[in-house]
Amino acid sequence: MKEKVQKSGKGFLVFLNSEIERQRQNGHISVANNYASAARSFSRFLKTRKKADASFRKMTSLLVSDYEAWLQTCGLCRNTTSFYIRALQSVYHKAVRQGLTEDRRPFCGTYRGVARTTKRAINASEVCLLSTLDIRSALLSTGDYENGKRLDNMQYQLEFARDIFIFCFCARGLTFVDLAHMRKSDITGGQLVYVRRKTRQRIEVQVEPMMQAVIDRYPSDSDYLLPILTKTDNMEAVYQQYRYALGRYNASLGTLGMMLGGVKLTSYVSRHSWASVARQQHVPLSVISQSMGHDSERTTEIYLKSLECNVINKTNHDLLNNVFRNADK
């Protein structure tokens, strides 16, 4: 019996593109963009086989396994290949639920997990050093900023990034995406109350003095708490503005990290650093997990695994130094 999708002349990519458009119309811009990335990748793979599309009947485990192998030959890491596979699987299951094809389980046998990556964190002294860093003097020392206006603009950009980082650290590892979309109305009675965009958990954080100082330093002309975003009416425009802001933020953090002597700083480091510092100060795992809005302590353990390894490695390093200190004397 022929599939409905074959009768309508649609292939998998045609259906995928229609799903991308549907997600955009429903305001799910991030999901649409994820699907679009997977569509471009799968399309490039099919072109290596001189195919413009694949019918649902040809979406077999062999084809998907070949696609996974092709991704690996392109030098992509395991998490990236998993990202593409999971996006295609999600759309395929939508087609199954709509009766466009029967489930032939083409993704069976592929890797669709999320491999642990090495988390990066800075210690408490480095956070403190960043908070007091004389950014203007650091810029002048490079000799690249003879023009006063250019110097002022770069100083403002770096100080804003630094203050966002400190704000997120003080707010128990608040993520950049949650801060960017935060509204002034989210603060009531000295409490910052918001719902995490990733897990939909409700979080309450007391507004500490250093957080309030950042809010006062950067007044927003819109409903947003901080002037990271300005657009509010168009979901696509908001998403694009957010992506641009995230890229600029990470670029600024990279510069700040160099000013600190080559420390690696990204938008995620403030969150992991808060968890690491809390653990070092013997805060219970359950408290850290709840504070960060994790859906389980297992997630928090993954956060802190690299910290524990670093502690063990440092202990061994110090031990070896003590043992062999006088070996060459």
Per-residue pLDDT tens digits for 182-212: 999 999 999 999 988 877 788 888 899 999 9
Same domain, 222 and 81: no
Tell me the residue range of the domain where 199 lies.
124-320
pLDDT at 3 over 50: no
Kindly list the distances between the CA atom of residue 179 and the CA atoms of 12, 49, 221, 229, 275, in Å, as whole numbers in the listed order.
37, 45, 16, 10, 18
Same domain, 184 and 280: yes
Q: CB–CB of 130/257 below 8 Å?
A: no
Of the listed ranges 51-65, 263-277, 292-306, the least confidently predicted one is: 292-306
- pLDDT on residue 60: 95
pLDDT at 326 over 70: no
pLDDT at 5 over 50: no
Sign of CA dihedral 77, 82, 83, 84: positive
**The two structure tokens encoding residue 183:** 């509204």
Same domain, 86 and 130: no
Q: Which CATH number fits the domain that encloses residue 253?
A: 1.10.443.10
What are φ and ψ of residue 217, in 5° steps? Answer: -75, -25
Q: Whole-number mean pLDDT of the chain?
A: 85
Domain count, the chain: 2
- pLDDT on residue 316: 61
User: Of 62, 97, 132, which one is at a domain's C-terminal end?
Assistant: 97
Same domain, 148 and 257: yes
Q: How big is the chain by its Cα radius of gyration, in Å?
A: 24
Distance of alpha carbon 245 from alpha carbon 230, whole angstroms = 11
Distance of alpha carbon 188 from alpha carbon 41, whole angstroms = 45
Number of CB atoms found within 10 A of residue 135's CB: 19
The residue with greater pLDDT, 58 or 9, is 58
- pLDDT on residue 78: 86
Same domain, 163 and 299: yes
User: Of 53, 82, 97, which one is at a domain's C-terminal end?
Assistant: 97
Please name the amino acid found at residue 207. Answer: V
Could you read off the pLDDT of 126-156 as tens digits, one per residue?
999 999 999 999 998 887 776 688 899 999 9
What are φ and ψ of residue 55, in 5° steps? Answer: -70, 160
Q: Give me the percent of the chain exceeding a pLDDT of 90.
A: 56
Same domain, 69 and 200: no
Q: CB–CB of 256/265 below 8 Å?
A: yes
Distance of alpha carbon 306 from alpha carbon 308, whole angstroms = 5
Torsion of CA 28, 32, 35, 37, to 10 degrees: -130
> In sequence order, what E strands does 75-214 have?
187-188, 191-195, 202-206
Same domain, 173 and 220: yes
Same domain, 74 and 150: no
Same domain, 210 and 63: no
> Does a structural domain hold residue 77?
yes
Nearest to 14 by CA among 33, 41, 37, 39: 39
Residue 167 pLDDT class (50, 70, 90 cuts)? very high
Q: Give me the percent of the chain exceeding a pLDDT of 70.
A: 81
Same domain, 89 and 171: no
pLDDT at 8 over 50: no
- Residue listed under structure tokens 């502690």: 311
Same domain, 84 and 144: no
